[in-house]
């Protein structure tokens, strides 16, 4: 008699890919190995972009910044235990920075892990991930992959964005089920990050406080950049006429050259303002916790805060007008409430900031023209400032101590989400991961300005950049060490603890993989080499020779180094 046709089958490998693709996730950043090698291969075969790195932390950082740039969770894929732990650093960093990201790690057999019988790469990854991210899930059955991925996506992007861990045991991938049932088990996440509209009373309260201001100030944070409410934010600033200070990754949300930018008068703006409207910026250490001498006389300040996370309110100081909701909705509601004839900002305040700003800019301009060899930071950054001015759609990745602090002040940004840097933790090592994802996600040229020390944390990824032929130009500010290149060992035995091999040629690392290497000793040489790299789109590393004497301990945040209570003799 007739034989019933075998029902078509699918497996865990395919269902994970189906679930991601159904939710418009098209890129995976990862490092292959047991048990996820075939998952990566299959994802590539099925049309996903699979970017294989040399170390999971860099893949994780790439996924994190992809999340920041796109408002979709960036996905990082790793092997179990050690690979998972390497990726976990990036996941924790993403969570701290409010970047949506999903770390997917293969894991060992539950039965063996839970009885601690010593499996290959045994580790209770779910338990370890939990305290370091926003949410953590494990899927044990192929029929739950759809729900597991959906939960991970929603957890990553809704409310305050953050990192999510998704644990996929090796056995899951091999599980087989009927294809039809498999398809039906998939979930397309509807409205993953729902708008959260602020209450009318909250808007009224905020406007009342703003109305009473003599010296109002807006602080734009990276939450505002993330929100992609660029037009609304610009309208708020311009319609209110309130000067603003951008946090590092909010630079370019409005061009740094905007007349209302008080970035170059930051200290005065923070100290002397009376009402401060925080838009997607936390009053953490980067804003001196909203108190102390940075903020002027005690009690001289009223804070209004827009944030999607209600618990953020009053985290450090009293928020007299909390506005809880998504930035797009909150800013639009404020604008509407301001009406057509909103009060002008007092001219005295604008004048104070303007003259401070002009004085600071003039002082800076002189330093930027320093044409010495070896270069100092300002001379080299002067050249790069011009590069970004001429190529405002390029993405600037920036890390290091002095290299970060000085570049942030010197290099003007003109467009939103073009400056990617060390973020809330001030972490070193984001450089190549961020640069790679920026190139992949945006297709724009990337300029990575790196301290020689910072670069070392992810430097091996120059091979990845060459392999994928990405338009990334790395400039290593090489001053022979961490902070400076001059430390010595008092006993004379070893090199000082903060110095590297003198006069290293980082450019040759790039040449080793077929990219372009340049050794630049003057600002002019540096400018020419960066321009050539940006024009050609070829992977390039420029070793920028900086005076080993240049640089200060810990850059701008030397005061965070503990000082011994013992009196120096
Ligand atoms: P910065 O370091 O630039 O000051 P932070 O990372 O400290 O920025 O602050 C970003 C804030 O933005 C976080 O408190 C986060 O909850 C908030 N945020 C992120 N996305 C949104 C959004 N879409 N709407 C409202 N707030 C948001
Ligand atoms: Mg250095």
Is 15's C-beta closer than 6 angstroms to any atom of ligand 1? Answer: no
**364's tokens:** 């800076």
Query: Tokens 């600037």 sit at which residue?
Result: 396
Residues ≥6 apart with Cβ < 8 Å to 115: none
Is 464's C-beta closer than 6 angstroms to any atom of ligand 1? Answer: no
Is 249's C-beta closer than 6 angstroms to any atom of ligand 1? Answer: yes
CA of 98 to the centre of ligand 1 (A): 7
- Residue 567's pLDDT is what? 78
Is 312's C-beta closer than 6 angstroms to any atom of ligand 1? Answer: yes
Which ipTM was obtained for this model? 0.98
Query: For residue 227, which atom of ligand 1 is closest to its CA?
Result: 23
Task: Please list the ranges in the chain whose pLDDT falls under 70.
Answer: 1, 569
How buried is 17 (Cβ within 10 angstroms: 0-12 exposed, 13-18 middle, 19+ buried)?
buried
- Residue 371's pLDDT is what? 87
- Residue 7's pLDDT is what? 83
Q: Are 410 and 381 in contact (CB under 8 A)?
A: yes
Is 226's C-beta closer than 6 angstroms to any atom of ligand 1? Answer: yes
Ligand that lies nearest to the alpha carbon of residue 289, given by its number in the listed order: 1
Gap between the Cα atoms of 525 and 513, Å rounded:
23
Instruction: Give the containing element (helix H, strand E) for 557.
Output: none
Closest C-alpha to ligand 1, atom 10:
223
Query: For residue 309, which atom of ligand 1 is closest to its CA?
Result: 16
Query: For residue 222, which atom of ligand 1 is closest to its CA?
Result: 3
Query: For residue 97, which atom of ligand 1 is closest to its CA?
Result: 6
Q: Are 159 and 98 in contact (CB under 8 A)?
A: no
Residue 481 is classified by DSSP as B
CA of 161 to the centre of ligand 1 (A): 9
pTM for this one?
0.97
Ligand that lies nearest to the alpha carbon of residue 455, given by its number in the listed order: 2
- Residue 555's pLDDT is what? 87
Is 313's C-beta closer than 6 angstroms to any atom of ligand 1? Answer: no
Strands (E), 170-215: 176-178
Gap between the Cα atoms of 246 and 262, Å rounded:
8
- Residue 569's pLDDT is what? 63
CA of 476 to the centre of ligand 2 (A): 9
CA 351 distance to own-chain centroid: 34
Query: For residue 284, which atom of ligand 1 is closest to its CA?
Result: 7
Query: For residue 280, which atom of ligand 1 is closest to its CA?
Result: 12
Gap between the Cα atoms of 177 and 392, Å rounded:
51
Gap between the Cα atoms of 107 and 375, Å rounded:
49
Ligand that lies nearest to the alpha carbon of residue 220, given by its number in the listed order: 1
Q: How far is CA 564 from CA 120, 171, 567, in A?
A: 46, 54, 8
Closest C-alpha to ligand 1, atom 20:
223
Question: What sections of 254-376 are H helices per DSSP?
Answer: 266-272, 327-338, 347-368
Gap between the Cα atoms of 390 and 415, Å rounded:
12
Closest C-alpha to ligand 1, atom 19:
223
Gap between the Cα atoms of 365 and 532, Å rounded:
25
């Amino acid at each position: 008699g007739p034989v019933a046709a075998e029902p078509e089958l699918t497996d865990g490998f395919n269902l994970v890919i189906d679930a991601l693709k159904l939710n418009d996730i098209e890129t995976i950043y990862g490092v292959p190995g047991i048990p996820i090698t075939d998952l990566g291969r299959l994802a590539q075969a099925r049309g996903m972009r699979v970017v294989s790195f040399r170390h999971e932390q860099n893949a994780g950082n790439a996924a994190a910044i992809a999340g920041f740039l796109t408002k979709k969770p960036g996905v990082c894929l790793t092997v179990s235990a050690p690979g998972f732990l390497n990726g976990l650093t990036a996941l924790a960093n993403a969570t701290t920075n409010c970047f949506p990201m999903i770390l997917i790690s293969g894991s060992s057999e539950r039965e063996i892990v839970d009885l601690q019988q010593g499996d290959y790469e045994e580790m209770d990854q779910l338990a370890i991930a939990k305290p370091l991210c926003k949410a953590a899930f494990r899927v044990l059955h192929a029929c739950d992959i759809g729900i597991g991925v959906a939960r991970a996506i929603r957890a990553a992007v809704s409310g305050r964005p953050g990192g999510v861990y998704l644990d996929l045991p090796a056995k899951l991938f091999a599980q087989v089920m009927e294809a039809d049932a498999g398809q039906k088990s998939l979930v397309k996440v509807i409205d993953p990050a729902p708008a959260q509209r602020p209450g009318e009373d909250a808007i009224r309260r905020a406007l009342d406080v703003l109305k009473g201001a003599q010296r109002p100030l807006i602080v734009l944070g990276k939450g505002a950049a993330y929100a992609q409410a660029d037009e609304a934010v610009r309208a708020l600033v311009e319609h209110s006429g309130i000067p603003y200070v951008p946090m590092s990754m909010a630079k370019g949300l409005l061009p740094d050259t905007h007349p209302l930018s008080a970035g170059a008068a930051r200290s005065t703006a923070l100290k002397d303002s009376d009402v401060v409207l925080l838009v997607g910026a936390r009053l953490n250490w980067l804003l001196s916790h909203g108190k102390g001498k940075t903020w002027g006389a005690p009690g001289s300040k009223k804070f209004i805060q827009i944030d999607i996370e209600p618990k953020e309110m009053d985290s450090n100081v009293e928020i007299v007008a909390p506005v809880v909701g998504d930035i797009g909705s909150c800013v639009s509601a404020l604008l509407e409430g301001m009406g057509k004839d909103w009060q002008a900002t007092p001219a005295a305040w604008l004048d104070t900031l303007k003259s401070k700003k002009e004085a600071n800019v003039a002082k800076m301009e002189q330093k930027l023209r320093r044409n010495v060899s070896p270069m100092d930071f300002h001379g080299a950054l002067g050249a790069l400032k011009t590069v970004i001015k001429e190529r405002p759609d390029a993405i600037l990745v920036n890390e290091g101590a002095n290299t970060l602090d000085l570049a942030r002040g010197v290099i003007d940004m003109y467009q939103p989400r073009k400056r990617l840097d060390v973020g809330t933790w001030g972490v070193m090592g984001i450089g190549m991961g961020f640069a790679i994802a920026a190139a992949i996600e945006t297709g724009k040229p990337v300029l990575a300005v790196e301290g020689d020390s910072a670069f070392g944390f992810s430097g091996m990824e120059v091979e990845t950049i060459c392999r994928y032929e990405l338009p990334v130009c790395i400039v290593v500010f090489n001053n022979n060490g961490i902070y400076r290149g001059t430390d010595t060992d008092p006993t004379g035995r070893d090199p000082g603890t903060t110095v590297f091999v003198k006069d290293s040629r980082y450019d040759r690392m790039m040449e080793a993989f077929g990219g372009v290497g340049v050794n630049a000793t003057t600002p002019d040489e540096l400018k020419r080499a960066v321009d050539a790299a940006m024009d050609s789109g070829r992977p390039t590393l420029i070793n920028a020779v900086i005076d080993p004497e240049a640089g200060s301990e810990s850059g701008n945040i030397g005061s965070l180094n503990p000082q011994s209570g013992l009196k120096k003799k």
